[in-house]
Amino acid sequence: MSLIVQKFGGSSVKDAERLRHVAGIITEYYDAGNDMVVVVSAQGKTTDELIAKAKEISDRPGGREMDMLMSTGEQISASLLVMVLNAMGYSAISLTGWQAGFLTDSNHTRSRIRHINKERLENELDKKNIVVVTGFQGINRYDDITTLGRGGSDTSAVALAAALGASRCQIYTDVDGVYTADPRLVENAVKLNEITYDEMLELASLGAKVLHNRSVEMAKKYNVQLEVLSSLERKPGTIVKEVVKMEKMLIKGVAKDDNVARISLVGLPDKPGIAFKVFSLLASRKINVDIILQSVGHDGTKDILFTIAESEKEAAAEALREIAPAIGIQNVTADSGISKVSIVGAGMESNPGVAAKMFEALGEANINIHMISTSEIKISVLIDKEMGSKAVLAIHDKFAI
Amino acid sequence: MSLIVQKFGGSSVKDAERLRHVAGIITEYYDAGNDMVVVVSAQGKTTDELIAKAKEISDRPGGREMDMLMSTGEQISASLLVMVLNAMGYSAISLTGWQAGFLTDSNHTRSRIRHINKERLENELDKKNIVVVTGFQGINRYDDITTLGRGGSDTSAVALAAALGASRCQIYTDVDGVYTADPRLVENAVKLNEITYDEMLELASLGAKVLHNRSVEMAKKYNVQLEVLSSLERKPGTIVKEVVKMEKMLIKGVAKDDNVARISLVGLPDKPGIAFKVFSLLASRKINVDIILQSVGHDGTKDILFTIAESEKEAAAEALREIAPAIGIQNVTADSGISKVSIVGAGMESNPGVAAKMFEALGEANINIHMISTSEIKISVLIDKEMGSKAVLAIHDKFAI
């Protein structure tokens, strides 16, 4: 007998019909003799509706009160799911973040889990209850409700799986696994049976919206075997783990991220410490920089180009324009209209021809590359956004993944 | 400087506009130098919507999960109200039932407050925060969320006022006080400046839907000065307290309750223990009996008539029909279509003419009385429901309240 943690997202629990469907999945595993802990997100558009209520009142509602407000969404779906399970004759109980023992730090709206106090959870499992836990939330040391930010419910599920020593952590979504490319872009994209944590991390951060990075990082750290599968169709999904059986493909997938802006700093003095000033400023504004390219410019100056999330473009450009005169930046420009297209695969580090093959695919498709970035298991290129889908198709075809 | 507890009901906090209006009332008292604790209900129709979600899943959802579900309504309105106060520049904090220290028994959906742990509340008041508490809820000894049932938020407010030694407990509603009769029925109904706890209790239980009985009972027990006033208009309301200045009226008010059903048991054997069997059966089914009338019938039998809430008519009749053969009841009938009209006033016990005057009023209006019940400060009559409004008018006129 083993313990399984399952997580169901907002669309999987959006109404009574979907809740009944989800309860069917849960009880199938419970009937097979497993202890079940289930993590749920807020129903359908609930989170958006709560945000809209807050925005009607204030442009910048405080984090503590936002967490108080937002945490109700999961509390509603958790109690409704238990009602469904009870109506089917199963013994089940819902627990809020604090009841389930989630202790976090005090960074409201984006807190981190510090510890899970397992006592209540284990008591309920001992009573053979199916335990339904509200995802995305906990409390801090002051007993204030906190939320975990984007992808929070995935993180809650992985943290529970790690704390309770679950044999599996199943993340149910509206896709049936991780694909070699977005199936809406690439008709012959293939579902992967297995993928390593590192590959999944690269794919997740590159815009394959299946799992949030934080949950994959945590799964890797605590060696939690993750499984991504569909809440709609009963078929095997993709398993994310440390070592996977070598399949013949070098490349695990092609991903596209349209949420990219490029900042160009032109004509910086070519002396030490300039880059430090730029990036420490951005760090202090909590702006996350992705790809950085530094190049020698004219007349003893240099240029720095980097990418950030589209949503932070204005804030970054404004901050940099403020300090531009003081550190001698001649010009700050911010561009949108850019896509980042990447290939990911643990096999590529021992295979030097991969980058060349990718660039060849793009060249044949007449797509211009603006910037390139590589790591052991990933190659990313920045291209014009309107070329994004064409690039994914061309690369996927070239590698015949 | 004193502490004031204010309670705002669902219609007073139903949207951003009303929340801003309520915040105006709160901050007026805060600016005058008072410590403020505010209790809120769920917004507008939220509670009904949550019940509808549960009913879609199960006819009989479990109490624990209903409380988990229902308690989210107040959490939403409390956090939104704090956002409004913050946006106005005031320091404020929302607390759920458990954060505010409400410990209750374990009767889910109708629990009773056992104790309020004041530590957090007092800490927040020390910091000069306006403290907004979710009404209607607490936790039991197992850390499960409980709710207080109907009128729960009034009870939360009175309990807080008692625990914190508040100088006043203001209940804001959409009427501006307690009237001598329902102003929609009686044009010249008069607002009372003061009323005693006992009179308010009789009026509340007789269908004057201003304050819930439990809150008035608690206010009486802990001598909390209650004030009922309008959240729409700024004018004095009605103060509820132990002793009031004698006003010239004998009768404080006329109330009508249409939620009444009458059960008639005809032809019972005239021997001891029969009434006991009937009413212990009803008590075991948790059916509350109001007025009871026993009369001698024909041929050595007797009849028992009693009233109950309309909503319990079917359950009561069914239970009694089951035991009718065993204890020899010849016939069980259940009637709707009945109103209970009552007059209330502490002065009436020393004034024997009051009942006669009430019956005279009804006789002149050609209204037939089915049953009569009296207490020290109340006289109730049962009449046909279609005569209810006419009766209230006739009595109000007769006493020239």
Which residues are paired to B260 by β-bridges?
B309, B338
Name the residue with higher pLDDT: A376 or A314: A314
Which residues in A lie closer than 8 A to residue B96 (C-beta atoms)? 68, 145
The tokens for B343 are 């007059």
Owner of token pair 């420490």:
A280
Here the ipTM equals 0.79
Distance from the Cα of B55 to chain A's closest Cα (Å) equals: 10
- Does B355 lie at the interface with A, CB-CB under 8 angstroms? no
Distance from the Cα of B46 to chain A's closest Cα (Å) equals: 12
- Does B292 lie at the interface with A, CB-CB under 8 angstroms? no
Looking at residue A272, what DSSP letter applies?
T
Looking at residue B343, what DSSP letter applies?
E
**Contact flag B120-A143 (C-beta cutoff 8 Å):** yes
Say if CB A168 and CB A341 are below 8 A apart: no
Give SS3 for B322: helix
| Selection from A64, A109, A69 nearest residue B78 by Cα | A69
Q: Where are the beta strands (DSSP E) in A237-347?
A: 238-241, 253-269, 289-296, 301-309, 331-344
Q: Is the pLDDT of residue A345 over 70?
A: yes
pLDDT band of residue A302 (cuts 50, 70, 90) is: confident
**Contact flag A143-B99 (C-beta cutoff 8 Å):** yes
Domain A3-174: CATH superfamily, name plus number: Acetylglutamate kinase-like (3.40.1160.10)
Residues contacting residue B6 through CB under 8 Å, at least 6 positions apart: B25, B26, B29, B36, B37, B38, B39, B157, B169, B170, B172
Distance from the Cα of B100 to chain A's closest Cα (Å) equals: 10
* Nearest Cβ partner for B72 among A58, A72, A82: A72
Number of residues that this document lists for chain B: 401
- Does B58 lie at the interface with A, CB-CB under 8 angstroms? yes
Which residues in A lie closer than 8 A to residue B129 (C-beta atoms)? none
- Looking only at the bridges linking them, the beta strands covering A137-139 and B3-8 are unpaired
The tokens for A145 are 């409700």
Distance from the Cα of A344 to chain B's closest Cα (Å) equals: 43
Residue-range domain boundaries for chain B: 3-174, 254-399
Cα torsion for B375, B380, B382, B388, to the nearest 10°? -170
- Does B81 lie at the interface with A, CB-CB under 8 angstroms? no
Q: What is the pLDDT of residue A391?
A: 93
| Selection from A192, A198, A154 nearest residue A173 by Cα | A154
Q: Is the pLDDT of residue A9 over 60?
A: yes
- Write out pLDDT tens, residues B289-341: 888 877 766 677 888 888 898 888 998 999 999 988 888 888 899 988 899 99
Percent of residues, chain B, with pLDDT higher than 70: 95
Q: Is A254-399 a domain of CATH 1.10.10.10?
A: no
Name the residue with higher pLDDT: B332 or A283: B332
Backbone phi and psi for residue A300, each to the nearest 5 degrees, phi listed first: 70, 15
Distance from the Cα of A192 to chain B's closest Cα (Å) equals: 37
Q: What is the pLDDT of residue A375?
A: 77
Nearest-angstrom CA–CA distance, A307 and A290: 5
Estimate the crossing angle of helix A119-126 against helix A152-164, to 10 degrees: 70
Distance from the Cα of A174 to chain B's closest Cα (Å) equals: 23
Compute CA distances A245 → A192, A219, A242, A248, A346, whole Å: 11, 19, 10, 10, 12
Nearest-angstrom CA–CA distance, A209 and A258: 12
Q: ∠ at Cα A362 (A359, A366), nearest 5°? A: 135
Longest alpha-carbon distance in chain A: 78
Nearest-angstrom CA–CA distance, B224 and B138: 21
Say if CB B41 and CB B76 are below 8 A apart: no
**Contact flag A75-B76 (C-beta cutoff 8 Å):** no
* Nearest Cβ partner for B83 among A19, A65, A143: A65
The tokens for A317 are 């450009």
Q: Is the pLDDT of residue B153 over 60?
A: yes
- Does B14 lie at the interface with A, CB-CB under 8 angstroms? no
Percent of residues, chain A, with pLDDT higher than 90: 55
Say if CB B293 and CB B236 are below 8 A apart: no
Which residues in B lie closer than 8 A to residue A80 (C-beta atoms)? 53-54, 57, 65, 69
| pTM, entire model | 0.81
Q: Is the pLDDT of residue B34 over 80?
A: yes
Nearest-angstrom CA–CA distance, B392 and A345: 83
Q: ∠ at Cα B15 (B10, B17), nearest 5°? A: 120
Q: Is the pLDDT of residue A119 over 80?
A: yes
Q: Between A and B, how many residue pairs show a Cβ–Cβ distance under 8 A? A: 102
Q: What is the pLDDT of residue B140?
A: 97
Say if CB A247 and CB A260 are below 8 A apart: no
Name the residue with higher pLDDT: B35 or B371: B35
Nearest-angstrom CA–CA distance, A204 and A197: 10
Q: What is the pLDDT of residue A292?
A: 80
| Selection from A304, A298, A299 nearest residue A281 by Cα | A304
Residues contacting residue A99 through CB under 8 Å, at least 6 positions apart: A120, B143, B144
Average pLDDT over every residue of A88-115:
96
Say if CB A197 and CB A220 are below 8 A apart: yes
Q: Is the pLDDT of residue B247 over 60?
A: no
Amino acid at B199: E
**Contact flag B57-A66 (C-beta cutoff 8 Å):** no
Which residues are paired to A304 by β-bridges?
A265, A294
pLDDT band of residue B245 (cuts 50, 70, 90) is: low
